[in-house]
Amino acid sequence: MGSLQVNAIRKAFGNHEVLKGIDLDVKDGEFVIFVGPSGCGKSTLLRVIAGLEDATSGSIRIDGQEVGAVPPAKRGIAMVFQSYALYPHLTVKDNMALGLKQAGAPKDEIEKRVSRASAMLSLEPYLARRPAELSGGQRQRVAIGRAIVREPKLFLFDEPLSNLDAALRVQTRLEIARLHRELKATMIYVTHDQVEAMTLADKIVVLSAGAVEQVGSPMELYNRPANLFVAGFIGSPGMNFIEATRLGETGAKTIGIRPEHLSLSRESGEWQGKVVHVEHLGADTIVYLESEKAGLLTVRLFGEHRYAPDDIVHASPDRASIHRFDANGQAIR
């Protein structure tokens, strides 16, 4: 089991309140990801759950047990850090086994767990090596293996892929997704990378300035953002925002339309504009145009399209996919 309940958690450093009354319910076996801009409090929240920081107020329960006074080593959690945090003088095998040895686990049990984890992560050829002899991706797999052998109630990941290059990030992301399926473990994961969040999470928690903006599945947040912040943060390229009065819309302050919900034509359309930049990405073409009526627009087209700067084009929105927001930035349903 590995359920988590966070109730009214506040954390202040001096007069600066970093977490402002966080409530969260994580079910056993869920993969939950915290996302948000730098400084929003996502890593602080993870550290409070782990017991590495004390909450100023509020309560945390793991499997129904209040853990506010329980030290980190006794909470049934294992944490994977951005920096790997491996001991350079120990072999891969000894790094993975260290926590179990310190806990006094029997030797045969340690061997069994290390063997299982190293097989899951394809680390068997590297067990006798030291961290300096490994690539960044291999070191991160060792750090994950060290967490797996502990068989924790909760896995906590703090931006584990941010030190890896793009190709390794994709590979390691796939490995983490596979591990979640195989272990059926509860995982809580912090990232600033929304691609990681959208592809890994059962549930995403969007944080801003120490508060929860929205909690939901990846596609729920993408298709039904609760407010302007979530609408602008989730999705790449970001959602287009247009002042409603510029389009003659009533009952809304701001109109939102995702780049893929705009079509382009050289002949006719709702918003005429001039192309200012084009990004050819192979599978997609991103066109930026300046429209007198709608302002700067980003349009995402599938496949290769031959638009160029200074072309005059017409953009038209898919009306069924328009988002409307009130004067407080809240979604109008």
CATH of the domain at 185: 3.40.50.300
The whole-number average pLDDT for the span 49-69 is 94
330, part of any domain: no
311, part of any domain: yes
232, part of any domain: no
Among 227, 246, 280, give the residue marking a domain's end: 227
| pTM for this predicted structure | 0.90
163, part of any domain: yes
| 267: exposed, middle or buried (Cβ count in 10 Å: 0-12, 13-18, 19+) | exposed
Do 34 and 167 share a structural domain? Answer: yes
The whole-number average pLDDT for the span 134-148 is 89
- pLDDT at residue 249 above 90? no
Do 173 and 25 share a structural domain? Answer: yes
Q: Is the dihedral of CA 206, 212, 216, 222 positive or negative?
A: negative
Do 270 and 185 share a structural domain? Answer: no
Please say whether the beta carbons of 202 and 31 come within 8 A: yes
333, part of any domain: no
276, part of any domain: yes
What is residue 164's predicted lDDT score, i.e. its pLDDT?
Answer: 81
Do 110 and 22 share a structural domain? Answer: yes
Give every strand in the sheet of 186-190, ordered side by side.
77-80, 154-158, 186-190, 31-35, 203-208, 211-216
Do 140 and 287 share a structural domain? Answer: no
92-102 and 107-120 helices, crossing angle to 10°: 140
Do 89 and 189 share a structural domain? Answer: yes
The whole-number average pLDDT for the span 202-211 is 96
16-30, 143-157, 298-312: lowest mean pLDDT where?
A: 143-157
Please say whether the beta carbons of 38 and 190 come within 8 A: no
Joined tokens for residue 112 = 């069994």
Mean pLDDT, the chain, integer: 93
Task: Give the CB-side neighbour count of residue 148, counting CA atoms within 13 A.
Answer: 26
How many separate helices (H) and strands (E) can be counted in the chain? 8, 18
Do 207 and 121 share a structural domain? Answer: yes
294, part of any domain: yes
Whole-number percent of the chain with pLDDT over 90 = 75
- pLDDT at residue 1 above 70? no
Do 252 and 162 share a structural domain? Answer: no
Q: How many separate domains does the chain show?
A: 2
Which amino acid would we find at residue 246? R
Higher pLDDT, 81 or 115: 115
- pLDDT at residue 73 above 90? no
Do 250 and 197 share a structural domain? Answer: no
The whole-number average pLDDT for the span 262-272 is 94
Domain that holds residue 256: 237-325
Do 121 and 24 share a structural domain? Answer: yes
What is residue 181's predicted lDDT score, i.e. its pLDDT?
Answer: 92
Do 274 and 175 share a structural domain? Answer: no
Do 196 and 164 share a structural domain? Answer: yes
Among 227, 246, 264, give the residue marking a domain's end: 227
CATH of the domain at 261: 2.40.50.140
What is residue 195's predicted lDDT score, i.e. its pLDDT?
Answer: 87
Among 173, 196, 227, give the residue marking a domain's end: 227
